[in-house]
Structures are given as structure tokens and as C-alpha cells.
Amino acid sequence: MDKVMSKPSTIAIDGPVAAGKTTIGTRLANELGYTFVDTGVMYRALTWKALKLKVPLDDEEELSSLAANTKIEFASGGSSVFVNGKDISNGIRSLEVEAAVSLVSKVAGVRRVLVEQQRRLAKNGKIVMAGRDIGTTVLPQAGLKVFLEASVEERAKRRYLEMVQRGEKVAYETILNDLKRRDEIDSKRAISPLEAAPDARIINTDGLGPDKVLSLILSMAN
């Protein structure tokens, strides 16, 4: 059998905030010649729009309606995201969006709409999809499921360095406290809580560089 054809057609990568899903998912997709989809970007994009329109973040009906009437698209290999034709790539990583996205993503109506979109993106296979509930809800039949985990302190350090490199001024303690808050929301929400699928391969990335994590997943995919 052709070695390429033996690889899983769909790969799910889940884990908490700043566990390395985007970095590893992007590199894995490039290595395999697959498409990478960061579902977190979709929730960020909708959060960005909700904030711009001043939609109350506790108004689940309005947020669900907003999701149903928002077109989210990717371009440039997934590095650019558009909302109703507008490139908002630079806006979705703001501290304002960062603080609000877990509140928006826990809304059942929002998740129903975006999960449907995510499944459509994956229907043709050759996809690496990252998020919080890919292996459990979005793509439960994925050929390979990986759950990346790391201590909240390690994840806060990574996020802090990312933001500093982008020229943003932020305190490590602020990021640490925000990650703890988001972990609480993500793990305890009623719809698709953050958890590893029973058949997921769990990788603790504390002390592991991206090259090592990528190597481990590639060995699982072959």
C-alpha cells in the first residue's frame, strides 16, 4: 500500500489554551501536505464581530443569531481570516478578544453553527484540525486524535513570550490568571467541554520543544 494513503485522512489536535496546538498543527499539516484548520480562530472571529457590534456576551440568543449570519473564511493557507469579506487577521489576537472568546464559545447555539462549518471543511479529508472538542465532538471518527497538555504556568510563559514578540505590553501574572479563568470555563461548560477523547493520544509538552512534539505525532501518523 502507498505510504501516503496509509496515513489518517483526518487528524484532530485538542488541548487547553496555549498548549501548542496551532504551532504543531501548522507544522504537521505542512509536513503531510494537509490543510490546517484552527477552529479557535473561528470563535475568535465571531468574538471580534460581537465586540464590534457591542453584542452583550451573556445574550446567548443574540450571539447564536450572529453566528448563523456570519460568514467566516480562511485564505493564504489559513493564516488570514475574513468575516463577511473583511480581513480581521490582526484583530483576533487582541487582549479584548482574548478575554471574551471563552464566553462566546461556550454558547450552545454558537457551537452548533461553527461545528457544522468545521465538519464541512473536513469532509474531503487531508486535514489537521485543532481546537478544544475536535476529537470528542467535531470529528469523533478522526483517524488520529492527539491531546496536547501542559501546566498552566508553562502555557502562560509561552503566551507571554508570543505577545512580547508581537510588541504587546502585558504582565505574566495577567496572562496566568486569564488562562486559569479560561481553563475553568472551557472544562466546565455544558456543551462540548474541554476533555481528551477516550482514544486520544495524550502528549504532555512540558519541557518539550516543537520539533520533539512534531516528531512524536508524525510517528503516530505513520
- At residue 129, φ and ψ (nearest 5 deg) are -120, 130
CB 35 within 8 A of CB 126: yes
- At residue 130, φ and ψ (nearest 5 deg) are -115, 145
Residue 52 lies in a domain: yes
Q: What is the pLDDT of residue 74?
A: 82
- At residue 13, φ and ψ (nearest 5 deg) are -125, 115
Residue 50 lies in a domain: yes
Q: What is the pLDDT of residue 76?
A: 59
In this structure, is the dihedral angle defined by the CA atoms of residues 79, 84, 90 and 91, taken in order, positive or negative? negative
Residue 218 lies in a domain: no
Q: What is the pLDDT of residue 217?
A: 97
Question: Which regions in the chain score pLDDT beneath 70?
Answer: 1-5, 76-79
Total count of domains within the chain: 1
Residue 104 lies in a domain: yes
Give per-residue pLDDT as tens, 12-60.
999 998 899 999 999 999 999 999 999 999 999 999 999 999 999 999 9
Residue 172 lies in a domain: yes
Residue 84 lies in a domain: yes
Q: Nearest to residue 148, comparing CAs of 23, 19, 22?
A: 19
Continuous H helices in the chain: 21-32, 39-52, 60-68, 95-105, 108-122, 152-165, 172-188, 210-221
Q: What is the pLDDT of residue 222?
A: 83
CB 190 within 8 A of CB 54: no
Q: What is the pLDDT of residue 79?
A: 67
Q: What is the pLDDT of residue 4?
A: 43
Give helix 108-122 / helix 60-68 axis angle, nearest 10°. Answer: 20
Q: What is the pLDDT of residue 2?
A: 42
Reduced to 3 states, what is the DSSP secondary structure of residue 143?
coil
Give per-residue pLDDT as tens, 185-194.
888 888 888 8
Q: What is the C-alpha separation between 200 and 221, in angstroms, rounded?
A: 13
Residue 20 lies in a domain: yes
Residue 105 lies in a domain: yes
CATH of residue 14's domain is 3.40.50.300
Residue range of the domain that includes 161: 9-204
